[in-house]
Structure 1
Amino acid sequence: MATPQHKYSLWLSPPKYSPAHASIQSLIAQFSTAPGSPVFSPHLTLFSPVRTDSDAAAIEQVQLYVAKLRERQLSQIPTEIRRVASGSKFYQCIMLEVGGVHEDAVRSANTIAREHWDATDQPNYYPHVSLVYRECTAEQRQATEGGC
């Protein structure tokens, strides 16, 4: 019998009681009133999926990954919001696009994760902070984006 795989995602999140967390959480709550749009915690997905056979193995893998970040002097990964954007994917319906002077740090951390988890064949990484999870028409995205 095969051991079930656990699946995790690595997130960068603003500190829970920070102004950034409160602002983004407020936007998520505001836009999640539409049917099929869940409320979730503010985050930037740094890498997904991390697959392991146990929680302990996941913690060990992440600790090794963090050690690699430190070796490459990426123990802090600052982020900067570039603009409000919309996309055609469920997890990218309405989002805050991450960019600016710190974009290289975020992309480097993702590249290190891809190497660490042997996932260099994944699609291009698009750093963003989602505000709305749902399937949207172009008209719905445009209307919501204009309200941000």
Structure 2
Amino acid sequence: FFLGSNSVCVWTLIKPIMEEVKKEVYSVWALPDEETEPRFRKLMEALRSEFAGPRFDPHVTVVGAINLTADEAKKMFEAACDGLKVYSATVDRVATGTFFYQCVFLLLRSTPEVMKAGEHCKNHFQFSTTTPYMPHLSLLYAELTEEEKKKAQEKANALDNTLDGLSFRINRLALCKTDTEDKTLESWEKVAVCNLSP
């Protein structure tokens, strides 16, 4: 009996510690300004109504999926926010990719400002990848054929024909839990949002 009650005490101590060291998949998103966001959202909803796919907020990923504890993620996110100012991004064109998370997207111009922001965040998160940073704002997550992707791309251009060359401000960063195995996105969660300094 004594051993049983003692083990309960041990577990009450161990569980919070285990929660702290548990690693989850996090990403950092750069969020478009409040004036432009509804425009992107409307376009995303129109594409989703025809081609299906999960709902997600308009964003530009600056740090891809990285395994961290909640504490590590919070500290790194705060440090990244602290040294970054509002910056501008410009749409190059509507493009298509080769996998689910890059199905149809707005390819952004790789301006020094955009690339520097991406590098800044990656450095704070000690995130390294062999793939060069390709700034983009996804419009649709889906598994489509090449023909369907082309159709979705054409639809996006028809719905909003002034996207090419569109400039907008990135004025917030968001820390998100993004388990990439969950293609429903139901487990995805925005953990924190910070406003960038002007």
Q: Is the pair's TM-score, using the shorter chain for normalization, greater than 0.5?
A: yes
Q: State the partner residue of 2:73.
A: 58
SS at match of 1:118: coil
Amino acid at match of 1:99: R
Q: What value does the CA root-mean-square deviation take over the aligned residues?
A: 2.1
Cα drift, residue 63 of structure 1:
1.7
Q: State the partner residue of 1:89.
A: 99
Amino acid at match of 1:76: V
**Ranges of 4+ aligned residues in structure 1 off by more than 6 Å:** none
What pairs with 1:1-148 in structure 2 (closer than 5 Å)?
3-16=21-34, 18=35, 20-34=36-50, 37-54=53-70, 56-67=71-82, 70=83, 74-99=84-109, 103-148=111-156
More strand by share: 2
**Tell me, which stretches of 5 or more residues in structure 2 are unaligned?**
1-13, 157-198
Cα drift, residue 59 of structure 1:
2.2
Amino acid at match of 1:121: T
Rate the CA distance shift 1:113–1:42 in 2: closer, same or farther, 3 A: same
Normalised to the residue count of structure 2, the TM-score between the two structures is 0.62
SS at match of 1:46: strand
C-alpha offsets along residues 3-34 of structure 1, whole Å, 9 cap, x if unaligned? 31132211111234x2x111110111111125
C-alpha offsets along residues 67-121 of structure 1, whole Å, 9 cap, x if unaligned? 4xx3xxx512211111111111211111111116xx2212112222333333333
Cα drift, residue 50 of structure 1:
4.4
Aligned length: 138
Matched-pair contact (CA < 8 Å) for 1:11–1:46: yes
CA distance in 2, matches of 1:142, 1:121: 29
**Tell me, which stretches of 5 or more residues in structure 1 are unaligned?**
none
Tell me which structure has the larger Cα radius of gyration.
2
**Percent sequence identity over aligned pairs:** 24
Matched-pair contact (CA < 8 Å) for 2:51–2:152: no
